[in-house]
Amino acid sequence: MFTRSDDKITSTQASIFLTDSVLGAGILTMPRAVVVAGETPDVWLSVLLGGLIVMVLIVVMVKLSQQFPEKTVFQYAGIVIGKVPAFILCWLLIIFFITIAGFEVRVLAEVTLFFLLEGTPMWATMIPFIWVSGYLLFGGLNATVRLFQLILPVSLFVLIVSYLLSIRIFEVDNLLPVLGDGLLPVFKGLKATVLIFAGFEVVMFLVAHMQHPEKAIKAMIAGISVPLAIYFFTIIFVIGGMSIDAILRSTWPTIDLLRSFEVAGLFFERLEFPFLVIWMMQLFCNFTCYFFGASLGISQLLRIKFRPVIFAMMPIIYLASVIPQDINDLFALGDIIGWSGIILFCLIPLPLSIIWLIRRKGLRQDA
Amino acid sequence: MWSKVIEYFPDWKAWMQAIVMTLIALGSYRIHGRLYKWGYNQPKQDGQQQGNSHQQGDGQPQNIAQQKVDGQQQGENQQQNDGQQPSDPWQQPQSQPSPQLTGNYDADMALIKEQLGNNSDVHFRDFRISIRNSRAVLIFVEGMQNEALINRQVMQNLMDNSFVKFEGYAMHNQSQAFAAYLKDKLLPISKISEVTDLYELEQSILFGFTALLIDGLPHALLVGEPAPKVRAINEPTSEALLRGPRIGFTEVLGENTALLRQHGRGADLELKMIEVGSRIKRNLVIAYMKEIVNKELLQEVEDRIANMNMDFISESGYVEQLIEDNWLSPFQQVQNTERPDRVISALLEGRIGILLDGTPFALIVPVTFSMLLQSPEDYYERWLPGSLLRTLRFFVAFLALMIPALYISFISFHPGLIPTELAITIIETRQGVPFPSLIEVLILEVSIEILREAGIRLPKPIGPAMGIVGGLIIGDAAVQAGIVSPILVIAVAVTAISSFAIPIYSAGITLRILRFSGMLFAATLGMFGTILFFLFICSHLTKLKSFGVPYITPASPYRFNDWKDLVLRAPVTLMKRRPSMLKPQDKKRRS
Amino acid sequence: MRRLSYLIGMMLLCSLLLTGCWSSKEIEERSVYVGMAVDLANKTTAEKQLESQGGGTQVQPLITATIQIVPLKSVGRGQQQAESGSIKKYLNVSETGNSIFEIMRNYSLKRDRAVIGHHLKVFVISTELAEKIELHKLLDFLLRDNDIRPSSMVFLSRGKAMDTLESDEPDEIPAFRIRDMVRNKFRNNKIYKEVILTNLDGYFHAKQSFILQNIAAADTGEIEFTGAGIIKGSTNKWIGDLDQENLSAISWIQGDSSGGLLKTVNDRNSIITYEILSGESKIIPKVDGERLSFHVDIKTEGRLIETWDAEETASKAFFLKEAEQKFEQKLETMLQNLMKKMQTEYKVEVAGFGDRLRITHPKVWKKVKDDWDDIFSRATVSFDISLKITDYGSSTE
């Protein structure tokens, strides 16, 4: 077939979708959240551990989704637990996606207004952002993921380069001693690190869109590994460059890290410029993922066309984003999102898998 | 609990903003959709009936075409088409059977004179054929035939007494025998054909054939072929190269197709002739490699060309605009080129070339974004310089698009993002500039655009002089007068030069247009606006398709095999496969 | 339907027109300040009178903040080049108040161009002020502000801080001079490594004592790096100074001396000088019950670069040995002087011993970190110096 009519994506594209849906505001807020929870330089271990835990959760979700080829969670939940409970659970998931989308766009607005555009009304940054995202979504999943593919390598490159240039203020002493306080703070930090991977729930509808769902596990693990690696580098470089104590006093530690040194002689001696640019693009992808997830959920649940749903979602997401009244509310919302991600996992894929396993066993015994 | 919830409930302003936002989004979607329908609905409706006619064409001009294209393969296509000609609605618009030549010399002459006699450039040369002493007339349009050939090979022979008699041709029909004799012995001309259809005859005469009408023969003879005024083959002006063939297409389709064939031996190249234009007709050739091209792609191209509906296709630009996927996009979805080598290498990648009579610009479809920044020279040079130049061009395209927007956002919004020393220099030089950066940039950008536009029309001898006056003196004077800052002059100059470095002129124009909208975005929201603009362009590019091929392949979706020929140009020895994005039948370049 | 779409189109157009350029302000309409100095303000006689009568609710002493604005407004384009040889390229403006932010905003009452802090490079605090006001209070605005980059460097000044931002040299911007002088550390280890706002953020949170480079200023507009001022962690106030040699000793302990010199006299009372090519150190904390002790291992290699002793031949091994011993003695004295200052005079620890202990004995560190300065003053520190002269330059005699 020369022109494709189905909106399927390749395994690489699915990985990138997952990467983009996890890698978002966390780059900026994660170091502080994790260090506050752990209060030890070892929190990078927590990040790794958290990533591993999330990988396990993802495998569970992929396995579940693979039982229902071509079906998203919004479609197969009904098969497993009946229409009404599934309806409620799916709505919870949709609300979750909407909240994350609102959160991301709000974080974007906060950072933009603080560092770049002091004095601009907040709606003026959020609304065009939502518009462009909606415009992209009109092209369907395929075009959306193509944009992700375009942006992600550039983002990763710029991120890594910015971090590597911060080596001039990097001090290994800040990362030592390893496990000086034992493992306990590491587990305390874990609480925060699992939260930064919130959003991996997209797996439940992503597998259905894959050309080769049988390769889903590999693709999804690869997809979550990239944000894991990036978060790992972030925490290492931020702690190394700033020390735990400075992070605890900083609202946006990652930006402060990049603002703490100047590369004389480069055309942009200030690395927060390229960093903020690619971070915004990354956040755009991140936001679009949830925008897509929420719209897809509603369109499949209520059986309406995709495009009108995009229009309907725009004001809803906007309203969701203006709910936090100040920056503390915003960070609190971030925590709530992290927790509800875990709760949702316990509410949807876990029981669904168990019920499905029991029912299948039951069927086998009957036969 | 409830008070808490109510406290967090968005206030009416937020609701208003949300509603207005959605309405605007909906509105622009509707306007976009309406525009689209407006453009597409009309041709679609009657395109259905007329579509076929373009493709099939009517017999006569296609015979001409067949004669002109010296390929063998076309034959079968043409034959099929000929068979369908009676059903063709375009041939007889009055839906009457076309009048035939009667064989009665006077009557025929009267008919022809009635049809063509009003044209001052149609000449009737009466003479007598010495052998039979019958009347004959040569009908031709002034300036379009090969006069020497007609004089020597036709007139001289026919008027010469001393010629062999046609005794051997004893046939049951006297006139038939004579006709055969004429062709076999008397007229040493390679191209000769018989016409009985009056309409066809007229068309041929007007197209430049010379018609020979002889008393007593039931049909007219078309002798010789039109010799239109031809330009010599020149080096293509819009795509000059240092290395590579210096041959460019000309205005004559036959020569252009010949140029393609001359590239080398091989029966793979297939040229398919289609006639386009509803009032004034023209020939169009679809060129492709039979064993490489994807059949579905070919079908799609043929369908779109058949669906074109225009009374006259004066240049390949019309074709381009009528067959492209999205005519609201600022990006071209069809590539135009003057270089035969470019067309051939595109064909070998599995693409399809479209050549139109009367223009030296051939079209290549489908096109991807990276092609706009590639030059044939990349392949002719060794791979390192090729890669370097290509990387440079990608960088240059970025510069041409973004410099003014970045300038505005730095100057007006983010003084904190530029290096300190640079910031101080800028402040020093910008003191006394009375305009905000947007106006300042607009002043200079617009004058550069005017200069560029004027430069095209300036006569060659004074062009460079005016360029110096415009560029150097105005720029310097503007700085001296304090209207613009010197830094901006540098920025704008770099932008202007950058857009010249893009190998495809029309792609350069696209970037020029987009640059202005980028400036507006930057003037509204600074760096954030610039990023939004960039994201918007990227979103548009990812959605755009050229004949079903995503516009930014192979950059995305990843086709790592094709990355060998994207920003870098891998050594030729490594390029073993054709681009897989075109899904060619034969994937291997080297075995 | 059609009418609706026109309406929406109009709305779109209007909204585009409405979107003015909220944050847009041309760069030349703002003043960039690259340096800032804070001093204790002298109270005017009127204020003193009011205060004596119970007026003046100022809880804190007043602060005078001086900012250095570059570049100056140029008079005219033509004249600019002709005059640039003689005029200053910067402008120092002072303002008094008791909140740094208030002071910053008061500049808007005085100047037509709003000041922006994106390009702040150096921040100088007079010790007079640092003695009275906690540093974290002075720096709080700088750490919070969104314009000021945490890469700004912080210095102390014994005299008036605003004097350090003066220069008589034409075309020189004093703030840049200070910034670039710090980079000379590779030539002289009497310069302390740059301390940026981010570092201070960490020190404040850990309540750690630290030192800041001292700058002295002369009336002629010249400045010099003269040792360092000590900020005590528990109070965040200035308590005293270390001189240049102490600072050099700190560099030795921290293994930070990659350049610089060591000067002493030999037995014949001639000056000999050692150029440091490399200097490494290792602090080894030892915990023995309640007793803390540190052992510092310093290894250095260098060149005999200058000797006033005409009698000796540098190529002779015994001469080099003797010189090495002299240098080691000198270094030992320097280190002991420093320890005396830290342990007995000021009772602070600013040489990085605590950090080492934190890494090697995290459990012990937890217990002692709250009153580390006191505990350190009771600890014993021993040094082991191995100095090696590897060459003697291009002259053998």
Average pLDDT, chain A: 86
Residue of B12, B22, B546 to mutate when probing chain A, most A C-beta within 10 A: B22
**Which subunits count as partners of chain C given 3+ CB pairs below 8 Å?**
A, B
- pLDDT (average), residues C106-127: 86
Per-residue pLDDT tens for B194-228? 888 888 888 788 877 888 888 877 788 888 777 76
- In sequence order, the 6+-apart residues with CB closer than 8 A to the CB of A319 are A102, B10, B14, B15, B18
Which pLDDT belongs to residue B78?
41
C386 membership: H or E segment, kind and range: strand C380-391
User: Would you call A103 helix, strand, or coil by DSSP?
Assistant: helix
The rounded distance, in Å, linking the Cα atoms of A242 and C197 is 10
Neighbours of A353 (CB within 10 A): 17
C210: its two tokens = 């630290």
The rounded distance, in Å, linking the Cα atoms of B585 and A2 is 11
Tally: H helices and E strands in chain A: 15, 0
Asked if A241 and A169 count as a contact pair (C-beta separation under 8 A), the reply is yes
- pLDDT (average), residues B489-506: 87
Per-residue pLDDT tens for B569-590? 888 888 888 887 778 888 887 7
Question: ω into residue B415 within 30 of 0, thus cis?
Answer: no
Q: How far is B422 from chain C (nearest CA, A)?
A: 11
With CB atoms and an 8 Å threshold, state whether C22 touches A115: no
Q: Is B209 on the interface with C (CB under 8 A)?
A: no
> Phi and psi at residue B360, in whole multiples of 5°?
-80, 0
- pLDDT (average), residues A242-269: 83
Place B477 in a pLDDT band, splitting at 50, 70 and 90: confident
B277: its two tokens = 């234009």
Per-residue pLDDT tens for A27-41? 888 888 888 888 888
The rounded distance, in Å, linking the Cα atoms of C276 and A292 is 63
Above 70 in pLDDT, residue B261?
yes
Which pLDDT belongs to residue A190?
83
Which pLDDT belongs to residue C310?
75
Which pLDDT belongs to residue B404?
92
The rounded distance, in Å, linking the Cα atoms of C49 and A167 is 55
Domains of chain A: 11-357 (1.20.1740.10)
Q: Which residue of C has its CA nearest to B411?
A: C27
Which pLDDT belongs to residue C15?
59
The rounded distance, in Å, linking the Cα atoms of B216 and B108 is 11
Q: How far, in Å, are A92, A350, B33, C177 from residue A347 at the CA level? A: 10, 6, 42, 63
Question: ω into residue C71 within 30 of 0, thus cis?
Answer: yes
Using CB atoms within 10 A of its CB, is residue A318 exposed (0-12), middle (13-18) or buried (19+)? buried
Above 50 in pLDDT, residue A335?
yes
User: Would you call C223 helix, strand, or coil by DSSP?
Assistant: strand
Domains of chain C: 28-41+61-73+87-242 (no CATH), 247-391 (3.30.300.210)
* Start-to-end C-alpha separation, chain C: 101
C215: number of CA atoms within 13 Å, CB side?
30
Neighbours of B339 (CB within 10 A): 25
Asked if C374 and C348 count as a contact pair (C-beta separation under 8 A), the reply is no
Per-residue pLDDT tens for C56-101? 545 556 888 888 988 876 654 444 444 445 567 888 888 888 788 8
Above 90 in pLDDT, residue B533?
yes
Residues facing C65 on adjacent strands = C38, C95
The rounded distance, in Å, linking the Cα atoms of B530 and B526 is 6
With CB atoms and an 8 Å threshold, state whether C26 touches B430: yes
Pick from C8, C119, C147: CB nearest B27:
C8
Above 50 in pLDDT, residue B59?
no
Question: ω into residue A351 within 30 of 0, thus cis?
Answer: no
Above 80 in pLDDT, residue B469?
no
- pLDDT (average), residues A173-200: 81
Per-residue pLDDT tens for A144-160? 998 998 899 899 999 99
Q: Which residue has the higher pLDDT, C27 or A291?
A: A291
C350: its two tokens = 């600013």
Give the per-residue SS3 of B515-560. Answer: HHHHHHHHHHHHHHHHHHHHHHHHHHHHHCEECCEECCCCCCCCCH
Residue of B31, B422, B427 to mutate when probing chain C, most C C-beta within 10 A: B427
The rounded distance, in Å, linking the Cα atoms of A233 and C68 is 38
Q: Are strands C30-40 and C114-116 parallel, antiparallel or unpaired?
A: parallel
Neighbours of C267 (CB within 10 A): 8
The rounded distance, in Å, linking the Cα atoms of B82 and B61 is 10
Above 80 in pLDDT, residue A264?
no
Burial C363-387 (b: 16+ CB within 10 A, else e): ebbeebbeebbebbbebebebebeb
The rounded distance, in Å, linking the Cα atoms of A335 and C329 is 59
Average pLDDT, chain C: 82
Per-residue pLDDT tens for A10-69? 888 899 999 998 888 888 888 888 888 888 888 888 889 888 988 998 898 888 888 888
Asked if B424 and C70 count as a contact pair (C-beta separation under 8 A), the reply is yes
pTM > 0.90: no
> Phi and psi at residue C155, in whole multiples of 5°?
-135, 165
Above 60 in pLDDT, residue C255?
yes
Per-residue pLDDT tens for C38-50? 988 876 566 566 6
> Phi and psi at residue C212, in whole multiples of 5°?
-125, 145
Residue of A176, A184, A266 to mutate when probing chain C, most C C-beta within 10 A: A176
Asked if A363 and A218 count as a contact pair (C-beta separation under 8 A), the reply is no
With CB atoms and an 8 Å threshold, state whether B532 touches A128: yes
B497: its two tokens = 């030069």
Which letter does DSSP use for residue C344 in this model? I
With CB atoms and an 8 Å threshold, state whether C358 touches A261: no
B386 membership: H or E segment, kind and range: helix B383-408
Q: How far, in Å, are A33, A45, B501, C125 from residue A188 at the CA level? A: 11, 11, 57, 40
Nearest 5°: CA angle at B127, between B125 and B130? 150
Q: Is B30 on the interface with C (CB under 8 A)?
A: yes
Q: What percent of chain B has pLDDT over 70?
A: 86
- pLDDT (average), residues B68-96: 43
Which pLDDT belongs to residue A342?
84
With CB atoms and an 8 Å threshold, state whether C32 touches B424: yes
Pick from C146, C197, C202: CB nearest A118:
C146
Q: Is C347 left (phi over 0), alpha (psi -120 to 50) or beta?
A: left
Q: Is B230 on the interface with A (CB under 8 A)?
A: no
With CB atoms and an 8 Å threshold, state whether A319 touches B10: yes
Asked if C66 and C161 count as a contact pair (C-beta separation under 8 A), the reply is yes
Q: How far is B293 from chain A (nearest CA, A)?
A: 11
Going edge to edge, which strands form the sheet with C291-307? C261-265, C271-288, C291-307, C380-391
Residues in chain B: 591
Q: Is A208 left (phi over 0), alpha (psi -120 to 50) or beta?
A: alpha
Asked if C174 and C75 count as a contact pair (C-beta separation under 8 A), the reply is no
Residues facing B140 on adjacent strands = B123
Place B166 in a pLDDT band, splitting at 50, 70 and 90: low
User: Would you call C357 helix, strand, or coil by DSSP?
Assistant: helix
Which pLDDT belongs to residue B88?
43
The rounded distance, in Å, linking the Cα atoms of C207 and C219 is 36
Nearest 5°: CA angle at A15, between A14 and A16? 90
Q: How far is A178 from chain B (nearest CA, A)?
A: 37
Single out the residue of A113, A148, A142 nearest to residue A288, CA to CA: A148
Place B77 in a pLDDT band, splitting at 50, 70 and 90: very low
- In sequence order, the 6+-apart residues with CB closer than 8 A to the CB of B520 are B438
Q: Is B25 on the interface with C (CB under 8 A)?
A: no
Strands, E assignment, chain A:
none
Which pLDDT belongs to residue A316?
92
The rounded distance, in Å, linking the Cα atoms of C112 and C191 is 39
Which letter does DSSP use for residue C220 in this model? T
With CB atoms and an 8 Å threshold, state whether B556 touches A150: yes
Chain C hits for A248, CB-CB cut-off 8 Å, are 205
- pLDDT (average), residues B283-312: 88
With CB atoms and an 8 Å threshold, state whether B525 touches A128: yes
ipTM: 0.92
Q: Which residue has the higher pLDDT, B186 or B296?
A: B296
Above 50 in pLDDT, residue B92?
no
Using CB atoms within 10 A of its CB, is residue B49 exposed (0-12), middle (13-18) or buried (19+)? exposed
Which letter does DSSP use for residue B417 in this model? G
With CB atoms and an 8 Å threshold, state whether A269 touches B552: no
* Start-to-end C-alpha separation, chain A: 41
Burial B280-293 (b: 16+ CB within 10 A, else e): ebbbbbbbbbeebb
Q: Which residue has the higher pLDDT, B21 or B174?
A: B21
The rounded distance, in Å, linking the Cα atoms of B468 and B464 is 6
Least confident of A246-250, B338-342, C196-200, C318-322: C318-322
What are the domain boundaries of chain B? 47-52+74-88+230-367, 105-223, 381-550
Q: Which residue has the higher pLDDT, C134 or B181?
A: C134
Q: What percent of chain B has pLDDT over 90?
A: 10
Chain B hits for A135, CB-CB cut-off 8 Å, are 536, 539-540
Q: Is B309 on the interface with C (CB under 8 A)?
A: no
With CB atoms and an 8 Å threshold, state whether A249 touches C362: no
Report CA C358 to chain centroid distance, whole Å: 24
Quickly tell me which residue has 């384009």 as its tokens.
Answer: C77
With CB atoms and an 8 Å threshold, state whether C32 touches B423: yes
